[in-house]
Amino acid sequence: MASIVLGLGKTGLSVARFLIERGTMVYGYDDWKESGDCPSDVIGNNHFRWISHSEALTLTSREVEEGVVSPGLPGVHPILRHLEAEGIPVVSEIELASRSIAFPLIGVTGSNGKSTTVSLIGTFLSHAGYSVFTGGNLGTPLLDAIRSHNHYDWGVVELSSFQLERIYTARFQVAGILNLYPNHLDRHLTLVNYFATKKRIFENQKRTDLAVVNLSTTPWHTKLCREVPSRIVPITTRGELREGFFFHRDTIIEQFLDGGKRISCQGWRLPGFHNRENLLFACAVARTL
């Protein structure tokens, strides 16, 4: 049985290589590229076949077991609609990777600051002696962590709303939404839809997992606290908390688990309120681990 990979940018090529290495026949399609744009190790492999738009629209569930879609392809794309009409499941690269990884995942999503925060968490955990993979949305595809055969204690993954649209079993033992502002509404249409997609980062968590919730911003966090299945780790850059992580001038106050801790941030140099938010989030993740 074959798979179809929709979108052959960095993520799509990682998917194609991963599937080819496992002996899966791969059909490749891209709106903006031609077969000559595809790297030789992919296009020259007997397990890969480039297909046109019209060919993709003739595929049936007897020929294709699953589709893997790159984040940039909208859900209204004709090929995606055709696959769904044929009963062919379509997943994201994150979902595909999560089936094979052997290490726990930290998932970070939000409207702004994801890349910075993922980098900070990875740095903190590395300094603590862990072997850490960092990647995801704007970095290294998660599948490359599997293909590298390296040992990792943790994976820290940046997740866009587009990637979260098509996860079904992927579990993030630690997950959080940094912030939420009107974004990508050309695709999600409403802020409610956007929030619902972001919230999927928590849906496969267990009670023993952790959900970092930013109480600094709009009231979506109240709804979130009622609905996530895991333990809440509250953070805020505005005011104080009886339990959680918050700022007092240039110090992060930790009121969580075994009591209080003060973390001086006097050496912090990245400017702006948003970077204080990123730092607070990353500290909360690292300290709770």
Tell me how far apart the alpha carbons of residues 75 and 175 are, in angstroms, rounded to a whole number: 24
Picking from 141, 160, 41, 71, the residue whose alpha carbon sits closest to that of residue 101 is 141
Residue type, 175: A
Phi, psi (rounded to 5 degrees) for 259:
120, -160
pTM: 0.92
Q: What pLDDT is stored for residue 126 in this prediction?
A: 98
DSSP letters for the chain: -EEEEE--SHHHHHHHHHHHHTT-EEEEE-SS--GGGS-HHHHTSTTEEE--HHHHTT--TTTEEEEEE-TTS-TT-HHHHHHHHTT--EEEHHHHHHTT--S-EEEEE-SS-HHHHHHHHHHHHHHTT--EEEEETTSS-HHHHHHTT---SEEEEE--HHHHTT-SS---SEEEE----S--HHHH-SHHHHHHHHGGGGTT--TTSEEEEETTSSTHHHHHHHH-SSEEEEEESSS--SSEEEEETTEEEEEETTEEEEEE-TT----SHHHHHHHHHHHHHHHH-
DSSP-assigned beta bridge partners for residue 157: 107, 135
Q: Give the CA-trace dihedral at 35, 9, 57, 86, to 10 degrees.
A: 140
Q: What pLDDT is stored for residue 218 in this prediction?
A: 63
Q: What pLDDT is stored for residue 280 in this prediction?
A: 96
Q: What pLDDT is stored for residue 186 in this prediction?
A: 54
pLDDT tens-digit profile, the chain (289 residues) = 899 999 999 999 999 999 999 999 999 999 999 999 999 999 999 999 999 999 999 999 999 999 999 887 887 899 999 999 999 999 999 999 999 999 999 999 987 778 999 999 999 999 999 999 999 887 899 999 999 989 999 999 999 888 998 999 999 999 999 887 665 555 545 767 778 888 899 999 999 999 999 988 767 777 778 889 999 999 998 889 989 999 998 999 999 876 678 999 998 898 888 899 999 999 999 999 9
Q: What pLDDT is stored for residue 111 in this prediction?
A: 74
Q: What pLDDT is stored for residue 281 in this prediction?
A: 96
The answer to whether 176 and 211 have CB atoms below 8 angstroms apart is yes
Q: What pLDDT is stored for residue 7 in this prediction?
A: 95
Q: What pLDDT is stored for residue 198 in this prediction?
A: 84
